[in-house]
Structure 1
Amino acid sequence: MKKWIFVGALLSFFNGNAQDLESILLAAGDANQLINQYIEPALKGLTYSVNGGWYTSAETHKKFGFDVTIAANAAFVPNKDKTFLFNPSDYTFLSAPSQNNENLPTVLGQDGNSTMVDVRVPVGDGTFKIASFEMPGGVAEDLPASGVLAPTIQVGFGLPTKTDIKLRLVPNLNYDDRVAASLFGLGLQHDLSQYFPLMEVSPLSLSVLGAFTTTKAEYELLNDANTSNVNVINGVAEFKLNTWMVQAIAGVNLKIINFYASAGYNSGNSTLKLLGDYTLSYDLEDENGSPLGTVSESLIDPININADTGGVRGTVGMRVNLSVFKLFADFTLQEYNTVTAGIAVSVR
């Protein structure tokens, strides 16, 4: 049911859980806060994952050298971000049947047991709009090693200034009738060893790298037979992510094997929007709970969530050189620790 492509966690969520976000719109003024608590770990995890795999060595190419790199980045979700505390006192209109605080799964948690959330919204004339919905579960069981995946294909090219330009490009593609995504990334890695003559005749190398990535994905939302009290017209879940990173990289370059380590900073800004026209149906009750009928409410583009993520990162890795073929793997220590592995074809 959930498919993984180059922005794995995002599109897995869209194919399996984005449709479920419609029902949370019944939370009225609490909907943005509740959806944000549920989805934020995926937004953060994708930032850290997309920023992986930009380099496999502290060395840059000679003039007109090039490489083609295929890598898989997996950012691992800390336990604290696999659940969130649902505290009814934090919301204006919501309560759970137990009336107690509950730990509910985030999108990157376990599927878990179904949790119903009750909605009671005062209309202003002594009556109340009443509804209930089921919180969606997590997708952890669908994630390899519970990691947020971001597979990448990258091309690097050596410029005359001992600088590599690196490009990631996925044009806007439709992966099925309802999902479309695109990605663009640009990086520059500059050799600092050239400014230290002794390093040029040693196996040591030093460079600095900066990179930017932007990605967008859209998922068409249709009416769900299981959510009869939410009607959708032209519904779209839209995700956008911009990430930046800078790294100082040091390496030891031997004939068969290279070792590298780096330190730097990465950050990202992501948005999730639910666009389109939505009609919500509520039961209407008086203050004593007696039914009075039903009432409808119309919403346009109801959800706009923005998440900023950033922090220091440190990486250690190694690359095995098999002629023009290179095998590499590294580990990055950061808020969401990340593992990268892959293969490259490189011509110096």
Structure 2
Amino acid sequence: MPSIRLLVFTLLLAGALAAGSPAHAQQSPDDLADALLEEVGAAYGERYVQPAVNALGADLNSGFFHKATVGGGLLPLVDVYAGVKAFGTLVPEEERTLSLSYQTRQEVEYDEGETYDADVTYEIDEAPTIFGEQEPGQATGTATFQADGQEQTKDVSLDLPPGLYEVPAVPLGTPQVGVGVPMIGTHVSVRYLPRIGYGGFGSVQFAGGGVRHDVSSYIPLLPFGLSAYGFYQTLSIEGDQAGEGLDLSADLSAYALGVSASKSLLVATVYGGLQYERTTAEVAYSFDPPEIGAQSVAFDLTGENSFRALVGVSVGLGPAVLNVDLSQGQRTVLSAGLGVSL
């Protein structure tokens, strides 16, 4: 499950960043942690994680069907499918970096260890996101404060995490089973993975399902199959980095509504569709290192993909079915499936 581990790593790292990062400005750990958490922790964490939510949301909302009709298989009264679906969402170049500007007030050291309250403006310019270059980014800024009766300035900087996965596409895979009843033109599909532990990275659980209804019978002499469908899925993450003092919970949900059409040609079926979709993620974490003390951050994210068009082809060889499709919306997704259809 490389993609699920990717999301776990991403969220854990964003939590660690929001609670504190190393600095080059001689700030104390308490001052640095407070400034990051209160002023930029959530904002930076959101931008760092957003590309992963976009990609995984686009993956989740893919590969629901390989034909529009219900029935026509080896069994006369039911339409059964069991297989594995795999998806890959291309990562746009603009999602490999992030830029952010923010102001805060914090203590800085000046003049032989004396500390002063300072107004600081930080600039983050094209720092890596989760899918960026595996080189650390940096936030640079200028602190302005009063010392010795005069206004003083001092350059400050913060190290930022590097990208974790500099990959062209984000993969995801899941088993899918479904049963349809041709008499009523309805097919129900289920995707499910039980909660799986990943040692020090916590655990994940995935579940989803949907309904597809064949509307071809309502339209006489229609030369192709036509159906409407809806799917809903959830991905739950619980992380506990005991050695780092970090507890994490994240709930990602995705739903899709669409129409599909297909045309059978000998052993191949050409299919396509139009789909509206939405992905949301709720992230909450607490960080409790001994030198800083307990800190908590929570934020919500929404995936950027909202609409797509797709086209694909499936090939049946006896009960075996192989399908491949390409969809285009705000993200480009390649989907494939291999299973048994009866």
TM-score, normalised with respect to structure 2: 0.78
1:13 is aligned with what amino acid?
Answer: T
In structure 2, the residue matched to 1:213 is 233
Q: Secondary structure at the match of 2:171?
A: strand
Structure 2 unmatched ranges of 5 or more: 22-31, 107-117, 146-155
Pairwise CA distance, 1:105: 0.8
2:77 is aligned with what amino acid?
Answer: K
Q: Secondary structure at the match of 2:161?
A: coil
In structure 2, the residue matched to 1:292 is none
- Alignment check: 8 A CA contact 2:239 2:247 kept: yes
- Alignment check: 8 A CA contact 2:19 2:287 kept: no
Give distance in 2, aligned partners of 1:188 and 1:99: 49
In structure 1, the residue matched to 2:175 is 153
Give distance in 2, aligned partners of 1:121 and 1:331: 53
- Alignment check: 8 A CA contact 1:19 1:222 kept: no
1:138 is aligned with what amino acid?
Answer: G
Q: Deviations for 1:54-111, whole angstroms, at most 9, x for unmatched residues? A: 1111122363221112111111121111111133xx232599x997652101112221
- Alignment check: 8 A CA contact 2:61 2:256 kept: yes
Pairwise CA distance, 1:268: 1.3
Q: Deviations for 1:152-175, whole angstroms, at most 9, x for unmatched residues? A: 110010134111100011111213
In structure 2, the residue matched to 1:43 is 53
Query: Is 1:273–2:284 an aligned residue pair?
Result: yes
Pairwise CA distance, 1:346: 0.7
Root mean square deviation, CA, Å: 3.1
TM-score, normalised with respect to structure 1: 0.77
Query: Is 1:342–2:337 an aligned residue pair?
Result: yes
Q: Secondary structure at the match of 1:42?
A: helix
Match of 1:52 among 45, 62, 73: 62
Pairwise CA distance, 1:184: 0.9
In structure 2, the residue matched to 1:198 is 221
- Alignment check: 8 A CA contact 2:99 2:127 kept: yes
Query: Is 1:246–2:266 an aligned residue pair?
Result: no
Task: Name the CA shift for 1:180/1:99 in 2 (closer, same or farther; >3 Å).
Answer: closer
Give distance in 2, aligned partners of 1:120 and 1:215: 42
Map residues 212-231 of structure 1 onto 2, 5 A cutoff: 212-224=232-244
Query: Is 1:111–2:134 an aligned residue pair?
Result: yes
Give distance in 1, aligned partners of 2:142 and 2:213: 56
Give distance in 2, aligned partners of 1:81 and 1:187: 30
Q: Secondary structure at the match of 1:91?
A: strand
1:28 is aligned with what amino acid?
Answer: L
Task: Name the CA shift for 1:9/1:223 in 2 (closer, same or farther; >3 Å).
Answer: closer
In structure 1, the residue matched to 2:302 is 308
- Alignment check: 8 A CA contact 1:8 1:148 kept: no
More off after superposition, 97-106 vs 269-278: 97-106
- Alignment check: 8 A CA contact 2:136 2:160 kept: no
Map residues 321-340 of structure 1 onto 2, 5 A cutoff: 321-340=316-335
Give distance in 2, aligned partners of 1:41 and 1:105: 11
Pairwise CA distance, 1:140: 3.0
Give distance in 2, aligned partners of 1:338 and 1:18: 28
Q: Secondary structure at the match of 1:39?
A: helix
Task: Name the CA shift for 1:260/1:194 in 2 (closer, same or farther; >3 Å).
Answer: same
Query: Is 1:165–2:175 an aligned residue pair?
Result: no
In structure 2, the residue matched to 1:182 is 205
In structure 1, the residue matched to 2:113 is none
Pairwise CA distance, 1:253: 1.0
Equivalenced residue count is 302
Give distance in 2, aligned partners of 1:148 and 1:68: 24
Give distance in 1, aligned partners of 2:140 and 2:59: 32
Q: Deviations for 1:118-161, whole angstroms, at most 9, x for unmatched residues? A: 79899xxxxxxxx97531111233x4xx2122211100101341
Give distance in 2, aligned partners of 1:17 and 1:149: 21
- Alignment check: 8 A CA contact 2:124 2:138 kept: no
Q: Secondary structure at the match of 1:319?
A: strand
Give distance in 2, aligned partners of 1:236 and 1:101: 27
Match of 1:139 among 155, 164, 171: 164
- Alignment check: 8 A CA contact 1:273 1:303 kept: yes
2:325 is aligned with what amino acid?
Answer: D
Pairwise CA distance, 1:254: 1.6
- Alignment check: 8 A CA contact 1:8 1:151 kept: no
